[in-house]
Amino acid sequence: MAALINVPTKAKRGEIIEIRTLTSHIMETGFRHAAAGDLVPRDIITSFTCRYNGSEVFRADLFPAIAANPYLSFFTVAKESGKFEFEWIGDNGYASTASASITVE
């Protein structure tokens, strides 16, 4: 699925940087009924993780009350050049990944 990642391409060592992520997902709550009256099954992202050169720097659990196309932003300290890896896991075996690289001077 499409994802929009915003990580600064360059940062100074020790600088606090903001990371913003936006991903496509319907986030169907499981509480709604279709026109015929049957329940629409739950289909949400349940967990998000961000790894910075392999080590986890941020994790979030997501719940039915979170809007479609979840937007998450968080901060971390730029320690070294490398790669941020993002992973979204959800219902019905949903898994999606994205990555972004950073140069630390």
Partner 1 sequence: MKFWRAIAVAALIAAAPVVLAGEIPPEMRRSGYSFMGPETRAMQDDDASNPGMLFVLDGQALWTKKSGSADKACVDCHGDARSSMKGVAVRYPAFDKTQGRPVTLDQRINLCRADHQQAKPLAYESRDLLALSAFVAHQSRGVPIAAGDDPQLRPFVELGRDLFNQREGQLNLACTNCHDDNFDRRLAGAPVTQGQPTGYPLYRLEWQTLGSLERRLRSCMTGVRAQAYDYGAPELVALELYLMSRARGLPIETPAVRP
Task: Please say which residue, 70 or 78, places its beta carbon nearer to partner 1.
Answer: 70
Report, in Å, the least distance between residue 9 CB and partner 1.
13
Report, in Å, the least distance between residue 69 CB and partner 1.
4
What is the Cα–Cα distance from 76 to 57, expressed in whole angstroms? 7
Residues within the interface to partner 1 (CB under 8 A): 2-6, 20, 22-24, 26-27, 67-69, 71
Report, in Å, the least distance between residue 7 CB and partner 1.
10
Task: Please say which residue, 55 or 84, places its beta carbon nearer to partner 1.
Answer: 84
- Rounded to the nearest 10°, the torsion over CA 99, 71, 61, 91 is -80
What is the Cα–Cα distance from 2 to 11, expressed in whole angstroms? 26
Task: Please say which residue, 1 or 80, places its beta carbon nearer to partner 1.
Answer: 1
73: nearest Cα among 94, 50, 89, 90:
50
